[in-house]
Amino acid sequence: MCPMNEEETYRNQIQEISQKQQNDQSTILTADQISSIHAWIAQMGQHWLNHEKYQVSKQVLQFEYPSLDYGTNRNVYDLNNGTVLKVALSELGYKSNETEAQIYRSCNEDVKAHLCPIIESGHGWIIMKKMSRPVPQSLSYVWKLVELQMKFLMKGIIPIDLTIDNAALSENDDIVVVDYGLFISGLDSPHFKDLAQ
């Protein structure tokens, strides 16, 4: 099989993006909010500095929701309904949203109990349950985190970046991972898609 030339690759990527945008629906976000996310994602790669990305994304999105956190790759908004919205700020953030959706929807139920539930996802965005009870930084919880890492590995998931800061406590005091965008689950992981082409 011959490798695709750059123009063919670009056309395929545009077609894939177009399909994702057309399939975007939400019971929580409005059509205008989804359109503003698409507008931001379309120009995301034009901005290099993290602070600039954050400022421009705020102007394009014009959300009234409070921003809980923004990092290098994603901005997290509190939707004031028990959920949070993560919007990609970079290509890695985009892939992290895809990874979380893919892992949550396809993983074993035993592992899913330790992942923050995904409510909805779309092109450049994901909505998850809001979990804000911090994991205590005690020896017993560090040990539980190590046990959780082993559980993920036994189920075929590499828990890259599993730390206390990326986890929260459930109502039952179980550790739940709230940021698993860098986890790897098989070769169909969004982080490997580019390598396969």
pLDDT digits (tens, 9 = 90+) for 150-195: 999 999 999 999 999 999 999 999 999 999 999 998 766 666 555 4
Tokens of 44: 């995301």
Model confidence, pTM: 0.84
Confidence at residue 188, expressed as pLDDT on a 0 to 100 scale: 64
Position 111 in a domain: yes
The CATH number for 182's domain is 3.30.200.20
Query: Read out DSSP for the chain?
Result: -PPPPHHHHHHHHHHHHHHHHHH---SSS-HHHHHHHHHHHHHGGG--SHHHHHHHHHHHH---SPEEEE-SSEEEEE-SSSEEEEEESSHHHHHHHHHHHHHHHHS-HHHHTTBPPEEEEETTEEEEE----BPP-SHHHHHHHHHHHHHHHHTT-B-TT--GGGEEE-TTS-EEES--TT-B-STTSTTTHHHH-
Say if 101 falls within a structural domain.
yes
Q: Are the CB atoms for 54 and 70 separated by under 8 Å?
A: yes
Higher pLDDT, 101 or 47: 101
**Structure token pair of residue 103:** 């892992």
- Within-domain flag for 129: yes
Say if residue 2's pLDDT is above 50: no
Separation of alpha carbons 135 and 96, rounded Å: 22
CA–CA–CA angle 17, 188, 123 (5° rounding): 25
Number of domains within the chain: 1
In a domain, 43, yes or no: yes
Bridge partner residues of 175 (DSSP): 169
Token couple for 19: 């399909």
Q: Residue 1 falls within a domain, yes or no?
A: no
Residue 179 domain-assigned (yes or no): yes
pLDDT band at residue 95, thresholds of 50, 70 and 90? very high
Flag whether pLDDT at 131 surpasses 90. Answer: yes
Separation of alpha carbons 87 and 65, rounded Å: 12
Query: Which domain covers residue 146, as residue numbers?
Result: 6-196
In a domain, 166, yes or no: yes
Domain contains 55: yes
Is the separation of the CB atoms in 157 and 135 below 8 Å? Answer: no
pLDDT of residue 126 exceeding 70, the answer is: yes
